[in-house]
Amino acid sequence: MATARKEKQDQQKEFDPKIIAFLCNWCSYAAADLAGSSRLQYPSNIRTIRIPCTGRLNPLLVIKALNKGADGILVSGCHPGDCHYIDGNYYARRRFTMLKELLEFSGVEPERLNFTWCSAAEGRRFAEIVRKVVDRVESVGPWQGFLSEPDIAAGIEVGEIEDGDFL
């Protein structure tokens, strides 16, 4: 038992999550730059994709990232009211809320899906966000993919679909 636990610990130690971060150009990407010019250190697990506005983020891009093996997602935009494009971040929040619910329903741990705000003046906050997101993703371990075989083997019910039935 102890050995098993240790093995698990070792695995977790080696687990170096890959996190895809979608950052809006005007606030959060600028905050990430500010974290840099302030030399605030944070884990190197995030891979940033710069987008003009979180409103640009089509939900399918998040699913694509998970499908390709991202262990976690960070979407960060401007604070409510600060959006460079007036209200793109509000639309993003709505879309992400729905998407998160859908994904959690289909078995993705909430820790993997992170949505937040960060202004161009908040370099420190950005570094903290990255640390926190990395911790959250580490706490749930590597992402195994949607309904992987072990899940099915573990007895997750998949309804039988007979000919002529539609979902």
Partner 1 sequence: MPDPVVVVGGGIAGIQAATDLAEMGIPVYLVEKSPSLGGRMAQLDKTFPTNDCSTCILAPKITSCYNHENVTTYTMTELINVEGEPGNFRVRLKKRPRYVNEEKCTGCGDCLDKCPVSISDEYNMEMSEYGAIHKYQPQAVPNVAAIDPEHCLKLTKDRCGVCEKVCNFDAVEYKQKEKKFIVQAASIVYAAGYEGFAGDLVSEYGYKEHDNVVTSLEYERILNAAGPTDGHIVRPTDGEEARRIAFIHCSGSRDRRTDKNYCSSVCCTYSIKHALITKEHLKDTKVDLYYMDIRTFGKGFERYYNRAQETEGVNFIRSRVSEIEAGSQPGDLKLKVTDGDNGFAEEEYDLVVLASGLAPTREVTDTLQKLKVRTNKYGFIDIDEFNPLSTSRKGIFGCGAVNGPRDIPESVMDASGAAALAGQHAVLDVNDMGVESAGEQEYRVTQNERTRVGVFVCHCGTNIAGVIDVEEVSRRARGIPFVEHAEDVKYLCSSDSQELIGERIEEHNLNRIVVASCTPRTHEPLFMDAIAEAGLNPYLLEMTNIRDQGSWVHKDEPEKATWKAYELIRAGVARVKNALPLERGEVDNIARALIVGGGAAGLTAALELGRLGFPVSLVERETDLGGHATKLEHSLEGRPVKPHLKRLIKEVREHDLIDIYAGHKIKDISGFVGNYKLELIPPIPEEAKGEDELVEIEGGVVIVATGGQEFEPEEYSYRDSDRVITQLELEEGLGQSDGLSVEPDDLEEIYMIQCVGSREEDRPYCSRICCSQALRNAVNLKKRNPEAEITILYREMRSYGYYEDLYRQARDLGINFSRYEVENKPRVTAEGNGRLSLQYEEPLSGREITVEPDLLVLAAAILPREDNLELSQMLKTPLNEDNFFLEAHVKLRPVDSATDGIFLAGLSHGPKNYSESLAQSRAAAGRAASILAREYLLTQATVAEVDEELCIACGDCERVCAYKAIEVNEEEDVAEVNRVLCKGCGNCTGVCRPHAVDLHGFMNQQIIDEIETLLAEDDSELAKSGGV
Q: Are 19 and 143 in contact (CB under 8 A)?
A: no
Nearest approach, Cβ of residue 112 and partner 1 (Å): 14
Q: Can you tell me which of 11, 12, 38, 148 binds partner 1, judged by CB under 8 A?
A: 38
Nearest approach, Cβ of residue 144 and partner 1 (Å): 14
Phi-psi region of 141 (alpha: psi -120 to 50; beta: other; left: phi over 0): left
- Which residues, 117 to 146, sit near partner 1 by CB under 8 A? 119-122, 127
Please identify, using beta-carbon distances, which residue of 9 and 38 lies nearer to partner 1: 38
98 binds partner 1 (CB under 8 A): no
Q: Can you tell me which of 95, 100, 112, 136 binds partner 1, judged by CB under 8 A?
A: 95
**Cα–Cα distance measured from residue 15 to residue 19, given in angstroms and rounded to the nearest whole number:** 12
Q: Are 52 and 24 in contact (CB under 8 A)?
A: yes
**Cα–Cα distance measured from residue 167 to residue 156, given in angstroms and rounded to the nearest whole number:** 18
Nearest approach, Cβ of residue 60 and partner 1 (Å): 8
φ, ψ of residue 5 in degrees (nearest 5): -65, -40
116 binds partner 1 (CB under 8 A): no
Which residue shows structure tokens 């007036």?
86
Nearest approach, Cβ of residue 78 and partner 1 (Å): 8
Rg (CA), the chain: 18
Contact pattern for partner 1 over residues 45 through 64, marking x by CB under 8 A:
--xxxxxxx-xxxx--x--x
Q: Is 109 helix (H, G, I), strand (E, B) or coil?
A: coil
Which structure tokens are listed for 25?
Answer: 């150009």
Residues interacting with partner 1, by CB under 8 A? 18, 20, 25-27, 29-30, 32-42, 44, 47-53, 55-58, 61, 64-65, 68-70, 78, 81-88, 91-92, 95, 119-122, 127
